[in-house]
Amino acid sequence: MCCFLAGGRGFPCLEQKTHDRRRPWVLVKAASSVTTSPIGGLGATYRYRYSIPFRAHDDWIKWPESGGVVKPKPMILGKGREVLRDISPVGRLGLRNLWRYSGFGWSGRIVAGVPGSIGALPPRCPCGFISRHMECLPGFREFYPEPLPLKDAWSCDARNHLFNAWRQTARCYGFREYDGPPLEPLELYTAKSGAEIVGQLFNFVDKGDRSVSMRPEMTPTVARMIAASERAYKKPIKWFSMPQLFRYEKQQRGRLREHFQLNCDIFGESHVAADAEIIALLIDVLRRLGLDQQDFVVRLSSRQAWQRFYESRNGDPARAYEFYQVIDKIEREKPEITAEKLLALSIDVADVRKFIEAGEPTPELQAVLDNLAARGLRDYVAIDYNVIRGLAYYTGVVFEAFDRKGEFRAIAGGGRYDQLVKLLSQGKVDLPALGFGMGDVVLLELLKSRGKLPTFNAGLDCVVIIEDETLRAESLALVQELRQAGRLVEYSLTPAKGDKQLKRALELGARYTHWVLRDEAGKVVYRTRHLISRCELTGDLQSALTTSDPLR
């Protein structure tokens, strides 16, 4: 009979049954126990039931055929989470399998070997634990408040830091915020990008028998909105949004299957000044986040310049978009592959390289450079004809922002798309347009690598410490008054020692603490302490509400 070792004590197995390989075993949570066992087909011939008092250790179990128990050094785990690490084979001793379990603080007992009836063992979460909930899908993220539970976890505070910079800078440029539906008709995207884009979409047929897709970008949505309502707005129309977008594509560094993106667009203005304005906005967004000309560069190009190049080489107009696709990948593909593709289009790769290396700005690009120079932003941009933007709808100036060291994918990209509104409105509305998109994934990685992210905490203004429970009602009144005055306030929901509450205030990064006390005459008074300077003031309720300025 096998023993299980927990905290240095052995407990005998209580029951042995033959393993039924047709039934998967799962993790479930019962009223006072958890059932756990290996999935069938991992080499276990038998399953066993045993009961033990729970210990917060990571222990090794040698299943019955091994005839004993092996225990490495214990690992102390956290408490209070309804999760259990996976039960899985971790090695062999001859023909004997070694298994491991580890768990988090359930009260009750661990019972192993009860067959499940609700499916297979839940998969491992990114954090390394198994939960009764399914893990998030590949390419999708969970955002945690600081401090992060794991080094590679995504920070909700950092994301909000981006959102604030995006929104504030766009508003400084006179842009107005809009939003659209996350689910759109599939044809909205195939109309402008062709049927080949379907392979990159999260698309399906809904219950109304409609072909729909999660939005992979925002440009078609805003173009449709403008086409439907442009008469209600004076030109030029300057809008921005910060949607979450979805693309079903291979995950790699800087590219997931979902991301948040700043989209800024100008409608109704064909002058090149609008191109300079949108590029200046892109630059100032990155500057607001702490980046400068040593960190990034905006590479300018022109779809019209490439169109004239292609036409001057007698290129087939029907294959122009194919040519643009080759140029778009020229820095990412092997030179021999690029040369082969260009040869199929009757274009000499040496001729293409010569055009790129010359880098002569077109009149429209020179006008953009002059405009940015007048703003003091000339050092942030450079002419680079390697940039062409692969999407079919671009018609004029195009641009992409990259980090100077070349460590990451494009930070942002955009350009002019004068025909898209006309296309989506079926010719009813013809408005010139341009814009850019800036995703959060690459940008957060860049800010982190350059040390540009601030330190995040709860950002509280004050904590009300309740040491005298007879004054809890008065303390709650103070909490309410402070919150109504716009302060960020925390307090202990249940009775706790004063030093513990003060320690919590320091952990939360609060600037002030407040106490409700009684003076020698039994009158209620309010004491405020500035936690950095340690200055204290005592007075009435009004003084507690107004002491922040003199103490700051």
Say what angle helices 156-172 and 440-449 make with each other, to 10 degrees: 110
pTM: 0.72
Instruction: Please give the distance of CA 534 from its chain centroid, rounded to a whole number.
Output: 39
Per-residue pLDDT of the chain (552 residues; tens, 9 = 90+): 333 333 333 333 323 333 333 333 333 233 233 333 433 333 333 333 333 333 333 333 333 333 343 333 333 333 333 333 333 444 433 333 333 444 333 333 333 333 333 233 334 444 444 444 578 889 999 999 999 998 889 999 999 999 999 999 999 999 999 999 999 999 998 876 777 789 999 999 999 999 999 999 998 899 899 999 999 999 999 999 999 999 998 888 888 999 999 999 999 999 999 999 999 999 999 999 999 999 999 999 999 899 889 888 888 888 888 888 898 888 888 989 999 999 889 888 899 999 999 889 999 999 999 999 999 999 999 999 998 886 777 889 999 999 999 999 999 999 999 988 998 888 999 999 999 999 999 999 999 999 999 999 888 999 999 999 999 999 999 999 999 999 999 999 999 999 999 999 999 999 999 999 999 999 999 999 999 899 999 999 988 888 754 344
What's the pLDDT score for residue 300? Answer: 96
What's the pLDDT score for residue 133? Answer: 55
Looking at the DSSP bridge assignments, the partners of residue 413 are 400, 437
What's the pLDDT score for residue 548? Answer: 57
**Which CATH entry fits the domain spanning 154-449: 3.40.630.30, 3.40.366.10, 1.20.1740.10, 3.30.930.10?**
3.30.930.10
The H or E element containing residue 464 is: strand 462-465
**Which CATH entry fits the domain spanning 462-551: 3.90.800.10, 3.40.190.10, 3.40.50.800, 3.40.50.460?**
3.40.50.800
Question: Contact 294/404 with Cβ under 8 angstroms?
Answer: yes
Query: Considering only CA atoms, which of 22, 25, 45 is closest in space to residue 34?
Result: 25
CA–CA distance, 162 with 446 (Å, rounded to integer):
12
What's the pLDDT score for residue 328? Answer: 86
Relative to beta strand 88-93, strand 3-6 is: unpaired
Query: Considering only CA atoms, which of 3, 7, 4, 27 is closest in space to residue 86?
Result: 27
Question: Contact 466/439 with Cβ under 8 angstroms?
Answer: no
Using DSSP, state whether 460 is helix, strand or coil. coil
Q: Give one DSSP letter per residue of 120-172, joined into a string.
A: SPPPBPTTS-EESSPPPPTT---EEPSSPSSTTPEEHHHHHHHHHHHHHHHHH
| Rounded-to-10 torsion of CA 442, 448, 449, 454 | 140
CA–CA distance, 533 with 552 (Å, rounded to integer):
9
Domain boundaries, the chain: 3-131, 154-449, 462-551
Question: Contact 502/513 with Cβ under 8 angstroms?
Answer: yes
